[in-house]
Amino acid sequence: MKIPEISKLKNSLSKSCSMIGKDEYFNAAVLVPIITIKDSYHLLFQKRAVNIRQGGEICFPGGEFDKNSDKDVIDTALRETVEELGIPASKISVIGKLDFLVGPFGITIDPVLAFLDLSLEEIKIDKNEVESIFTAPLEYFIKNEPEVYYSRTLIEPYYFDETGKKIELLPVKKLGLPSIYGEPREGRKFKVYVFNFNGYKIWGITAVIIRELIRIIKAEI
């Protein structure tokens, strides 16, 4: 299967999108970096340093949108990539944005697709945030479907703190709301995708982004 010229995907990527109340979420952006190795397209991944949040996980470079320094999510993805991978911004060529996604825990993620115009040897990772990097051929994800598992959210209108005190988040009785909303209840079940590549578990939001990129690529084939 011949992979189309990646730069031609620009017309298939998101032009604009909006979401009511997006500013009330934790808004993040990631760069989806494509690098050419021996005339083949590869996705570049990083393994997070063990001493930070979600340590040891496989992900794309990225982080929280900073309204004080970033004019848009592309700025966020570029800034975080420069910081985490030590790549000059001049070596990153943005192709465009994929549609943003909403994670199950109040997070929005805007993926930005880009070429890296350098070799792996030129990447100088920040060891405080990144343990290591690796690449996987784009063709691998075109030919291999991820494993599918499930998880479930739980809606809790109250919780107990470390002293055992009940903290009421939604005062259902006071507001006169139906009593069903005053007790914990099951939220929705959602799919969890997992790619197994050379011993690496590429899963969760990263896997969702990859699946969307592959969908766009296959539509061009």
pLDDT confidence of residue 16 = 61
Is 20 among the domain residues? no
pLDDT confidence of residue 93 = 95
- Count, in order, helices (H) and strands (E) of the chain: 4, 13
Give the CATH number, domain containing residue 58: 3.90.79.10
Is 176 among the domain residues? no
Confidence of residue 88 (pLDDT cuts 50, 70, 90): very high
Which residue segment(s) compose the domain that 114 sits in?
A: 6-11+25-143+200-220
Is 32 among the domain residues? yes
Q: Is it the case that residue 14 has pLDDT exceeding 80?
A: no
Confidence of residue 72 (pLDDT cuts 50, 70, 90): very high
Calculate mean pLDDT across residues 50-70: 88
pLDDT confidence of residue 103 = 85
Q: Is it the case that residue 15 has pLDDT exceeding 70?
A: no
Is 181 among the domain residues? no
Is 106 among the domain residues? yes
Higher pLDDT, 207 or 4: 207
Closest by alpha carbon to 108, among 118, 98, 116? 98
Is 148 among the domain residues? no
Closest by alpha carbon to 31, among 84, 90, 78? 78
Calculate mean pLDDT across residues 51-74: 89
Confidence of residue 1 (pLDDT cuts 50, 70, 90): low
Q: Do residues 195 and 137 make contact, with C-beta atoms less than 8 angstroms apart? A: no
Kindly report, residue by residue over 17-41, the tens digit of the pLDDT. 678 788 888 899 999 999 999 999 9
CA angle 206, 208, 209 (to 5 degrees): 65
Q: Is it the case that residue 46 has pLDDT exceeding 90?
A: yes
Alpha-carbon separation of residue 18 from 11, 22, 66, 89, 215 (angstroms): 19, 8, 18, 27, 21
Mean pLDDT of the chain: 91
Kindly report, residue by residue over 136-169, the tens digit of the pLDDT. 999 999 999 999 999 998 899 999 999 999 999 9
Is 215 among the domain residues? yes
Is 61 among the domain residues? yes
User: DSSP H helical segments within the chain, as ranges?
Assistant: 73-85, 138-143, 172-175, 204-220
Q: Is it the case that residue 52 has pLDDT exceeding 90?
A: no
Calculate mean pLDDT across residues 164-192: 93
Task: Report how many domains make up the chain.
Answer: 1
Q: Is it the case that residue 51 has pLDDT exceeding 90?
A: no
Q: Is it the case that residue 54 has pLDDT exceeding 80?
A: no
Confidence of residue 2 (pLDDT cuts 50, 70, 90): confident
Q: Do residues 192 and 202 make contact, with C-beta atoms less than 8 angstroms apart? A: no
Higher pLDDT, 103 or 3: 103
